Amino acid sequence: MELTKTEEDLMNHLWKMEKAFMKDILEAYPDPKPAPTTVATLLKRMHDKQFVGYTLYGKSRQYFPLVKKKDYFSKHVNGLIKSFFNDSASQFASFFTKETNLTKEELEDLKLLIDSEIKKKPQ
């Protein structure tokens, strides 16, 4: 299941805060802040999608993410590779390195990361 762009924005706040009450979430938004009813609706939808949980403290709810940011991002990158690059990581890497205007230093850092991962793989 996926999140909408506005749900992802809210989720990014929750991932940063780890736990938050409605007032904390609203404060995390830049001006102009969304209406509390909008955030409440988003939180309900995200709870229904099982992305967000909450703990009740009287009538207040403290929200927390049920999905790790890394897991969410990984699923989307893998879906992107499957959908747009014929399930080919090489095609994705080729596109990424050519079309994102990476500096020579960034490409060298990327190469070091790849070399490091290659060394970790069994023969």
Residue 123 pLDDT: 74
Global pTM value: 0.73
DSSP assignment of 23-55: HHHHHHSPSSPPPHHHHHHHHHHHHHTTSEEEE
pLDDT tens digits, one per residue of 1-51: 789 999 999 999 999 999 999 999 999 999 999 999 999 999 999 999 999
Residue 74, pLDDT score? 87
pLDDT of residue 115: 87
**Omega within 30 of 0 (cis) for the link into 122:** no
Output the pLDDT for position 96: 81
Domain assignments of the chain as residue spans, ordered by start: 5-65, 69-120
pLDDT of residue 80: 82
62 touches 48 (CB < 8 A) = no
CATH of 5-65, one of 3.60.90.10, 1.20.120.330, 3.30.300.20, 1.10.10.10: 1.10.10.10
pLDDT tens per residue, range 62-72:
999 999 999 99
